């Protein structure tokens, strides 16, 4: 009897879950430039667009408000944070270049509050750039629900980077 009462709720529950699942899309774009360790500028549907790599956070490569907040929060010297940000930028730029064709995969939320496109970036060789940056030790996982599709992969990659003292963990 108990199941008969709950069963009619199943379609209602699925109607709320399915839109979240179907919002993810993929797009093929050309890279215009690497902005910083976790941001690209791409040609998206004929327009230049900023793409923020979902699920990761690299240090800032310029002294700005976020770098100052990160310095205050971590107790780390601002110059050290900016230096690490420049290392992350160089790594990202070594993996993706102007004119490269990449595939963007969105998650549940396509844009952030700054109107940047949020995406997992897939390189032509099938590597996910977001995860490669974390695995090399140049970013930390940064999970912001509802965009959590690869959260576990990023956490595993970060553990591996720390264990092997890669990138920022040297």
Return all residues near 126 (Cβ < 8 A) that are at least 6 apart. Answer: none
* Phi, psi angle pair for 21, to nearest 5°: -70, -40
Question: Residue 60 catalytic?
Answer: yes
Sign of the torsion angle spanned by Cα atoms 93, 95, 99, 105: negative
Of 33, 93, 116, 166, which is the active-site residue?
116
* Alpha carbons 46 and 9: distance in angstroms, whole number: 43
Of 49, 52, 87, 135, which is the active-site residue?
52
Question: Residue 159 catalytic?
Answer: no
* Phi, psi angle pair for 33, to nearest 5°: -170, 165
Of 60, 87, 131, 135, which is the active-site residue?
60
* Alpha carbons 90 and 75: distance in angstroms, whole number: 24
**Residues annotated as part of the active site:** 52, 60, 116
């Amino acid at each position: 009897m108990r199941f008969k009462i709950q069963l009619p709720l199943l379609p209602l529950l699925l109607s709320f879950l399915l839109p979240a699942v179907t919002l993810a899309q993929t797009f093929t774009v050309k890279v215009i430039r690497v902005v910083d360790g976790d941001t690209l500028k791409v040609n998206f549907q004929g327009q230049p667009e900023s793409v923020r790599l979902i699920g990761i956070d690299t240090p800032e490569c310029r002294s700005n408000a976020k770098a100052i907040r990160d310095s205050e929060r971590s107790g780390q010297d601002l110059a050290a944070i900016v230096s690490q940000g420049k290392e992350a930028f160089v790594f990202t730029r070594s993996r993706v270049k102007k004119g490269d064709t990449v595939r963007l995969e969105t998650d549940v939320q396509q844009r952030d509050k700054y109107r940047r496109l949020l995406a997992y970036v897939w390189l032509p060789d099938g590597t996910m750039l977001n995860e490669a940056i974390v695995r090399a030790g140049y970013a930390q996982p940064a999970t912001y629900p509802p965009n959590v599709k690869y959260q576990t992969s990023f956490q595993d990659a970060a553990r591996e980077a720390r264990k092997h003292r890669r990138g920022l963990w040297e």
